[in-house]
Amino acid sequence: MDADFSEHALLFKALGDPHRLAILATLARAKGEVCVCDFTAGLPLEQPTVSHHLRWLRETDLVRSTRKGTWVYYRLAPGVMSRLRRAVNALFSQKALAA
């Protein structure tokens, strides 16, 4: 197999939690930035766990954050949709399937 899936594996690992997917879906539907307080209120999780999931998404460059006073606001990182498409396409390409 010629393909190196290391980068894609990290991406899929970040997406492998339903709460992180919910956060990404919220950001994808948002017209602007979303306050961390909205995630805390909207998820059945305590604040430290929400922060843990947001850190995962930041470290895999799926979201960006901006501090405004006491609160941190989140938005999708530029190019997230094309990055996700490339990862899925890499899994199903003929090159990846060739043994």
Q: Which amino acid is at 94?
A: Q
Distances from the Cα of 47 to the Cα of 29, 36, 38, 70, 93, angstroms:
22, 9, 11, 14, 40
86 lies in some domain: yes
Q: Give which of 49, 47, 63, 48 is closest to 11, Cα–Cα.
A: 63
* Euclidean distance between CA atoms 22 and 29, whole angstroms: 11
Q: What CATH number should be reported for the domain holding residue 25?
A: 1.10.10.10
Domain span including residue 22: 6-94
pLDDT at 90 over 90: no
CB 42 within 8 Å of CB 26: yes
* Alpha-carbon Rg for the chain in angstroms: 15
Can you give the pTM of this predicted structure? 0.83
71 lies in some domain: yes
58 lies in some domain: yes
Strands 34-35 and 63-68: unpaired
83 lies in some domain: yes
* Euclidean distance between CA atoms 55 and 50, whole angstroms: 9
Q: Please give the tally of structural domains in the chain.
A: 1
80 lies in some domain: yes
For 38-79, the pLDDT digits (tens) are 998 889 999 899 999 999 999 999 999 999 999 999 999 999
Please tell me the predicted confidence (pLDDT) of residue 23. Answer: 96
* Euclidean distance between CA atoms 5 and 78, whole angstroms: 22
1 lies in some domain: no
47 lies in some domain: yes
For 72-81, the pLDDT digits (tens) are 999 999 999 9
